[in-house]
Amino acid sequence: MQIIANPFPFEFQLDRTALVIIDMQRDFIEPGGFGETLGNDVSLLQAIVPATQAVLQAWRRRGGLVIHTREAHRPDLADCPPAKRNRGTPALRIGDEGPMGRILIAGEPGNQIIEALAPIEGEIVIDKPGKGAFYATGLQSELRGRGIRSLVFMGVTTEVCVQTSMREANDRGYDCLLLEDCTESYFPAFKAAALEMIRAQGAIVGWTAPSASLLAALEG
Ligand code: TIU
């Protein structure tokens, strides 16, 4: 398949490509979670849910591999270094009890993927303690075992966990596409800059495209 993308068309083989949905969790998208405790307006992120859901459904209809990530720490915080936990001056830190359970802790209600994008049987869910989806996770071996060569990214936030994961993926040899209207930041200027950085210099990190480009190919 070839789709219209920036800075030039993106080519991929569906059975060698995974859809990777980064951290679409209540902790980032709903009030009372990690995103809000950091001082952010989480309502901005809710806008991408319909477009993200449309791509997920189309990808599922074609039988493509789906990978969901969650930013999640162990209840004993053994995988949360002080360099992460002590940043900022939040009302609640990682591990503290909030309105949706303990902030950014695996298994808590706030740590779950939002209902609209909930994983279904056969999809891979990767819990990650860092910003990148490859750091301290089994993602690389999951991809290798299935012969995956290309990754299509959606999720939040564009310049933090999405961009970090794309850079990690690019260094590991994957061609990466980011869907422009299926990713969001708490800072619109950071989203715009991240999209430009990713595709600059002849797609130095990867490609970007509107979801309509991918949907046209999947449904064509
Ligand atoms: N704060 C922020 O923009 N993002 C994160 O902390 N994690 C993710 O991006 N998932």
Model confidence pLDDT, tens digit, residues 127-157: 999 999 999 999 999 999 999 999 999 999 9
Q: How many CB atoms lie within 10 A of CB 204?
A: 12
Model confidence pLDDT, tens digit, residues 115-128: 999 999 999 999 99
Q: How many CB atoms lie within 10 A of CB 17?
A: 20
Q: Are 2 and 214 in contact (CB under 8 A)?
A: no
pLDDT over threshold 90, residue 87: no
Q: Is 153 in the pocket of ligand 1 (CB under 6 A)?
A: no
**For the ranges 84-88, 125-129, 146-150, 178-182, which has the lowest average pLDDT?**
84-88
Distance CA 70, CA 130 (A): 10
CA of 162 to the centre of ligand 1 (A): 9
Q: Which residues are catalytically annotated?
A: 23, 128, 161
Q: Is 160 in the pocket of ligand 1 (CB under 6 A)?
A: yes
Best residue among 26, 28, 135 to mutate for probing ligand 1, ranked by most atoms within 8 Å of CB: 28
- Percentage, residues of the chain above pLDDT 70: 100
Rounded to two decimals, what is the model's pTM?
Answer: 0.98
CA of 48 to the centre of ligand 1 (A): 15
Q: Grade residue 94 by pLDDT with cuts at 50, 70 and 90.
A: very high
Model confidence pLDDT, tens digit, residues 10-46: 999 999 999 999 999 999 999 999 999 999 999 999 9
